[in-house]
Amino acid sequence: MIHHLSAIWKFRHFLMALVRLDLRLRYRRSVLGVGWSLLKPLAMTAVFATVFSGMLGGGDIARYVPHLLIGMAIWEFLRECVVTGCKSLIQGESYIRQSPLPYGIYPLRTVLGQAIHSLIALGVAVVATFYYRPDTNPLGFLYAVPGLALMFLASWAAATIFSFLNVYFQDTSHLLEVGAQIVFFLSPIMYLPEILAAKGMQWLMDINPVALFMELIRTPIMDGAPPSVAMLVAGTSFAAVMMGLAAGTTAWLQKRVIFHL
């Protein structure tokens, strides 16, 4: 695994050049350009806050709006990493057929690009939090950094696993899209976590890694306090297990996957 990572480091220039290209192409020929990545969550939040704040947000706009914005930025990242990331090996076929690059580089291309994109959206959410919650610790978002790093690693691992799976079983990408839709509603993104707990479904959040990362990232930004040690341990373990699975999948399939592409 160390060998694999150092091989990726060796090709960092190639990787970063492609990530930059992807970002540039994403908003090619659009008037707003990168503004779209700001506008989309803002528009969604405006609609949600108007329609659902009473029902799902407990009527507290100052809490519900930052909750939604941060949640949406995180969710968009996780969803894209899995749904788009699972196609990364198929997308990279022409490179795979030409050069013996480490396989982890292809999902990393997708995940890095999405990370930059989502960080912009998260920046907007942090600013909105200052606006709606002026008495929150202004440096509280720094407590979210470990959560963000763990989420990045776990997402890269997930994208790697699913991209291998998708080569062998191409319905994976469709299944993931359906799955993402389900997980979206099962995670505390458009509703507050208490709502699930009040209905006796706390267990649903305890087993949901999306809820875990929401907690690790959203709570520090909104409350300006570090996440609990238990949460950090859970997040670290989850990321470690995912990285282990991804390393195992890569080691298992990297010598065969080219014959299936």
Q: Which residues contact another protein by CB under 8 A?
A: 10-11, 13-14, 17-18, 21, 25, 28, 94-101, 169, 171, 254-256, 258-260
Nearest Cα to Cα of residue 167 among 71, 62, 252: 252
Report the C-alpha gap between 110 and 115 in whole angstroms: 9
Report the C-alpha gap between 227 and 220 in whole angstroms: 6
- Min dist CB 141 to another protein, Å, is 32
- Min dist CB 36 to another protein, Å, is 18
- Min dist CB 203 to another protein, Å, is 31
Q: How many CB atoms neighbour CB 26 within 10 A? A: 15
- Min dist CB 259 to another protein, Å, is 4
- Residues 250 and 160 sit within 8 Å (Cβ to Cβ): yes
| 116 or 258: CB nearest another protein | 258
| 14 or 130: CB nearest another protein | 14
| 170 or 202: CB nearest another protein | 170
- Min dist CB 111 to another protein, Å, is 18
| 98 or 200: CB nearest another protein | 98
- Min dist CB 27 to another protein, Å, is 12
Conformation bin of residue 33: beta by default, left when phi > 0, alpha when psi is -120 to 50: left
Report the C-alpha gap between 76 and 146 in whole angstroms: 19
| 16 or 119: CB nearest another protein | 16
| 24 or 62: CB nearest another protein | 24
Nearest Cα to Cα of residue 51 among 190, 181, 185: 190
Contacts of 225 (CB under 8 A, 6+ apart): 137, 140, 143, 219
Distance, C-alpha 192 to centroid of its chain: 19
